[in-house]
Amino acid sequence: MLISNNTVVTMHFVVSSSDGTQIDSSRDNEPMIFLQGSHFLIEGLENELEGKSKGSKFVLDVEPQLAYGERHDELVQAVPKSMFEGMDVEPGMTFRATTDDGEQSVMIIDITDDDVIVDGNHPLSGLTLTFDVEVLDVREATEEEIAHGHPHTEEGCGHTH
């Protein structure tokens, strides 16, 4: 069976930055299981999986525009430290911030005497990512999985809809 929209794919992957630094891997854990076409994966990887089958192995470079986007300097901002009064904040912490465009995730990247520097870019934005992928299984999704937008295990989907 070929991977196409509304198929459930089981795969192992290793993702690295262009300098070879490993970012994530499923190799030492459970494989990733997802519904193709649900936009669970970044666009470049989901596009490359289309038409592959069980046993397919490939290495793929995904440019930022098909991954987590380009970095935007204007999303790095200094926020008065007083806005975090009573909170013990440190670099690496993430928060949901209310902006003119709605809620957005931000990460604290630095703390000065007066300000907390936050970054609204995705941590992987601006990076070309290299994926090493092995497709372990492909099957048709059930009607319920398609309706819910994700695969289910034998125990169900773990939540109510």
**For the chain, which domains are there?**
7-68+125-148 (3.10.50.40), 73-119 (2.40.10.330)
Least confident of 47-56, 73-82, 127-136: 73-82
pLDDT at 159: 52
Q: What is the pLDDT of residues 81-118, one digit of tens each?
A: 998 888 899 999 998 888 777 888 899 999 999 999 99
Query: Where residue 7 falls among pLDDT bands split at 50, 70, 90?
Result: very high
Residue 154: the pLDDT is 63
| pTM beyond cutoff 0.75 | yes
β 102-111/94-99 pair status = antiparallel
**Region 19-28 average pLDDT:** 95
pLDDT band at 155 (very low <50, low <70, confident <90, very high): low
- Confidence (pLDDT) at 108: 95
Burial of 126 (0-12, 13-18, 19+ CB in 10 A): middle
For the chain, the average pLDDT equals 92
- The single-letter code of the amino acid at 86 is G
- Encoded tokens for 24: 């994530």
